[in-house]
């Protein structure tokens, strides 16, 4: 698979399978944690080539015969030491060979810090992110808003699930530098109660959570709280009431999504009736950043991966296509997708503006990664020294490239970035020993100004200049070598970048790839847009529809260029025109006439991918999940 590097065996181990010299299998053992559909062994063609394989009799639930003469993991539960026999018939013309092949599952040799079945690990949650710049500390609430109650969608959870809450926020290095910090409120905050409902607006079955047996908990300044184990939840809504002392601050969460029935209301003081059921009372409902947990931990089933996802803002984009009611960003969305091998657990530790050196400082009181690390370490201690995740995925290093001096050469950039990346990976391996580490390629960054034209490769300039060729060389080195201690490298470049001749140095630089709609010629406005007049739809003529999740781009390369709005829906009118629904109303600053050029862009600022790119990344990651599970 191009661009995929694997640093260890993919769940295969042991000697050649049975079957004698004619029909045999490449392996006879496999790891118990293997995902359904993952490769166990390849069959040896007894005729040299051209054999057709079939199963004789019944197939054990733990195994399956796949195309190409492959034995893969079946849908049945795997158990350590379990031997399963499948009878395979290989035939070619009038010749045939039948052999029983036995395969035995064995545990992957794990470090003492790797979680065991029954330990707490991060599970599936709907929480978008805990590190975006919107997840900062709110202004001190007024006396009439010291209490807020939020309804948030919650997917189904297994018995023993436990929400995790933080009492700190996150700044951004590009707004509050010099580093991306965990920002403490300077006061305690009280969770008055946590209640789940199986229907919207406090309807259906109600179950209240507890903290050490109590209905409420006071979270220390910069601290965290973990609920007691809850019974299995079929899915629905999670309602949390939070009260802040007068003059204090509170952490905030991601904006609620009204499409899911999420909202919050505020009051001057806690009202117990809001936890009893029915609609939340108080101020007018809004979808602003109501307080919510930062993750969910669940008992580890010994098989389903749980991923600690660490990234900068590239991994923390808003998902305006939440069909899976999942988190944010293509990687996390794919990991949480229930299709295929099922949903993985995810702890989304993205932080807008962070360089990897921010995450490498776990010194108490540093407030760079110290508070989040303290929560992870506490759960580790609850597990008897084992971490609450099975994998680490790093999508970071974008801001490390952005920090490169403009005067540096591409060779300088490559040397510096190899050193930074190696220090980051070594830190992860030392801090979380025995946990497989995955690194994905680093996305492009180009200048963002009034003359930048994202519909042209030549209209984009690498930023900083030397980090264009330097970035391409780094990603090539990363994919081709899979440097230790990485277990896997995932190449996401094809979903985001194209190459252009570098304008400063000799070589090719990665810039933002033109979307298929632009490559097909784009479109023209079918209805004029007036300056200063709001609209939530745009009608165009085009030969092909634009992609949902791409940015609307009016008259690029002209003096009246505007990039406003993100395409949320596309309706084919059947006459060569399309009506585009925008995710929010826009007010053009310039008039755009009928027949003027309409295009789309994968980015609005040259750095951050729009949802369309995250969807592409999600489509690239989903097929890799069986491989990830086998690490």
Question: What does the H/E/C string look like for 514-557?
Answer: CCHHHHCCCEEECCCECCCCCEEEEEEEECCCCCCCCEEEECCC
Q: How far apart are CA 280 and CA 52, in angstroms?
A: 63
Q: How far apart are CA 402 and CA 442, in angstroms?
A: 11
The DSSP output letter for 423 is H
Q: Virtual CA dihedral for 584, 133, 444, 463, nearest 10 degrees?
A: 110
**Max CA distance (Å), the chain:** 87
One DSSP character per residue, 4-65 reads EEESS-SSEESS--SSTTTSEES-SEEETTPPTT-EEEEEE-TTSS--EEEEESPPPTTEEE
What's the pLDDT at 127?
66
State the residue for tokens 């969770």: 191
Please check whether residue 61 is in contact with residue 76, taking contact to mean a CB–CB distance below 8 angstroms: yes
| Burial (CB count <10 Å: 0-12, 13-18, 19+), residue 581 | middle
- E strand spans, 378-512: 391-394, 437-440, 488-490, 497-501, 508-512
* C-alpha gyration radius of the chain: 26
Q: In whole angstroms, how far apart are CA 611 and each of 162, 324, 605?
A: 30, 14, 13
Which tens digit of pLDDT belongs to each residue from 287-307? 776 788 889 999 999 989 999
115-143: b (≥16 Cβ within 10 Å) or e: beeebbbbbbbbbbbbbbbbbbbbebbee
Strands of the 29-31 sheet, one edge to the other: 12-13, 29-31, 95-106, 83-92, 52-56
Q: Residue 126, by phi and psi: left (phi above 0), alpha (psi -120 to 50) or beta? A: alpha
CA 542 to mean position of chain CA atoms? 33
Please check whether residue 140 is in contact with residue 248, taking contact to mean a CB–CB distance below 8 angstroms: yes
Closest CA to 311 of 356, 254, 278, 367: 356
Please check whether residue 547 is in contact with residue 600, taking contact to mean a CB–CB distance below 8 angstroms: yes
pTM, full prediction = 0.84
pLDDT along the chain (631 residues), means of 10: 33 33 87 83 92 96 95 90 96 94 90 95 74 53 91 92 92 61 92 97 97 98 97 95 94 72 90 96 81 92 94 73 56 86 89 87 93 96 98 92 79 93 96 96 90 91 90 95 94 93 94 96 97 97 96 95 94 98 94 98 92 91 91 88
What's the pLDDT at 139?
64
Q: How far apart are CA 452 and CA 456, in angstroms?
A: 9
Closest CA to 152 of 138, 165, 143: 165
What's the pLDDT at 3?
36
Q: Structurally, what CATH architecture does the domain formed by 517-601 represent? A: Beta Barrel (2.40)
CA 54 to mean position of chain CA atoms? 39
Domain boundaries, the chain: 4-106, 112-130+294-514, 138-156+165-291, 517-601
State the residue for tokens 């990664």: 369
Q: How far apart are CA 377 and CA 375, in angstroms?
A: 5
Q: For the domain covering 112-130+294-514, report its CATH number.
A: 3.40.50
Per CATH, 4-106 and 112-130+294-514 having the same topology is answered no
Q: Structurally, what CATH architecture does the domain formed by 4-106 represent? A: Sandwich (2.60)
Q: Which helix (H) or strand (E) holds 105?
A: strand 95-106
Q: How many helices (H) and strands (E) would you count in the chain?
A: 10, 35
Q: Which two tokens stand for residue 468?
A: 């264009």
What's the pLDDT at 129?
47
Q: Which residues contact 342 (CB under 8 A, 6 or more apart)?
A: 36, 304
Q: Which two tokens stand for residue 22?
A: 């004619």
Q: Residue 315, by phi and psi: left (phi above 0), alpha (psi -120 to 50) or beta? A: alpha
SS3 303: coil
Q: Residue 374, by phi and psi: left (phi above 0), alpha (psi -120 to 50) or beta? A: alpha
SS3 489: strand
């Amino acid at each position: 698979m191009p661009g995929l590097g694997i640093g260890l065996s993919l769940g295969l181990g042991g000697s050649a399978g049975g079957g004698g010299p004619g029909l045999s299998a490449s392996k006879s053992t496999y790891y118990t944690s293997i995902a359904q559909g993952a490769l166990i062994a390849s069959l040896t063609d007894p005729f040299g080539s051209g054999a057709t394989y079939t199963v004789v009799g019944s197939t054990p639930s733990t195994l399956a015969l796949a195309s190409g003469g492959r034995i893969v993991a079946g849908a049945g539960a795997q158990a350590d030491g379990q031997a399963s026999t499948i009878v395979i018939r290989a035939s070619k013309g009038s010749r045939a060979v039948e052999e029983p092949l036995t395969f035995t599952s064995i545990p992957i040799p794990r470090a003492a810090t790797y979680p065991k079945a029954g330990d707490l690990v991060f599970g599936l949650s709907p929480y978008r992110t805990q590190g975006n710049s919107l997840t900062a500390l709110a202004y001190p609430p007024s006396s009439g808003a010291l209490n807020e109650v939020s309804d948030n969608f919650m997917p189904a959870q297994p018995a023993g699930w436990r929400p995790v809450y933080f009492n700190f926020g996150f700044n951004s290095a590009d707004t509050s530098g010099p580093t991306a910090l965990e920002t403490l409120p300077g006061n305690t905050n009280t969770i008055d109660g946590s209640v789940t409902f199986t229907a919207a607006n406090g309807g259906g079955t109600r179950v209240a959570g507890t903290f050490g047996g109590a209905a409420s908990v006071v979270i220390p300044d910069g601290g965290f709280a973990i609920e007691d184990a809850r019974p299995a939840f079929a899915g629905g809504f999670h309602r949390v009431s939070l009260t802040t002392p007068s003059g204090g601050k509170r952490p905030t969460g991601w904006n609620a999504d009204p499409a899911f029935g999420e909202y919050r209301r505020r009051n001057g003081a806690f009202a117990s009736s809001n936890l009893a059921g029915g609609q939340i009372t108080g101020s007018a409902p809004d979808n602003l950043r109501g307080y919510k947990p930062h993750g969910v931990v669940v008992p580890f089933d010994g098989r389903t991966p749980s991923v600690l996802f660490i990234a900068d803002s590239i991994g923390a984009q808003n998902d305006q296509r939440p069909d899976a009611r999942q988190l944010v960003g293509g990687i996390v969305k794919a990991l949480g997708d229930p299709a295929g091998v099922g949903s993985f657990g995810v702890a989304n530790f993205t932080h807008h503006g962070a360089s990897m050196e921010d995450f490498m400082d776990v010194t108490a009181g540093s407030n760079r990664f110290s508070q989040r690390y303290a929560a992870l370490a506490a759960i580790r201690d609850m597990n008897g020294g084992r971490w609450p995740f099975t994998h680490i995925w790093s999508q970071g290093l974008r801001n490390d490239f952005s920090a490169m001096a403009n005067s540096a050469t591409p060779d300088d950039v490559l040397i510096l970035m190899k050193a930074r990346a190696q220090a980051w990976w070594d830190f992860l391996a030392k801090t979380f020993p025995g946990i497989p580490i995955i690194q994905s390629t680093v996305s492009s960054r180009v200048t963002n100004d009034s003359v930048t034209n994202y519909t042209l490769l030549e209209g984009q300039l690498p930023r900083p200049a030397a980090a264009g060729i330097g970035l391409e060389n780094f990603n090539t080195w990363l994919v081709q070598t899979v440097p230790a201690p990485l277990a896997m490298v995932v190449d996401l470049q094809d979903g985001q970048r194209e190459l252009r001749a570098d304008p400063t140095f000799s070589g090719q630089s990665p810039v933002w790839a033109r979307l298929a709609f632009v490559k097909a010629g784009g479109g023209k406005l079918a209805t004029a847009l007036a300056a200063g007049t709001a609209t939530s739809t745009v009608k165009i003529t085009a030969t092909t529809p634009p992609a949902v999740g791409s940015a609307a781009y009016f008259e690029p390369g002209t003096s009246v260029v505007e990039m406003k709005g993100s395409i949320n829906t596309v309706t084919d009118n059947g006459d060569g025109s399309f009506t585009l629904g925008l995710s929010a109303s826009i007010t053009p600053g310039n008039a755009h006439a009928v027949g003027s050029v309409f295009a789309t862009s994968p980015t609005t600022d040259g750095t951050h991918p729009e949802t369309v790119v995250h969807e592409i990344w999600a489509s690239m990651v989903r097929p890799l999940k069986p491989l990830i599970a086998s690490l």
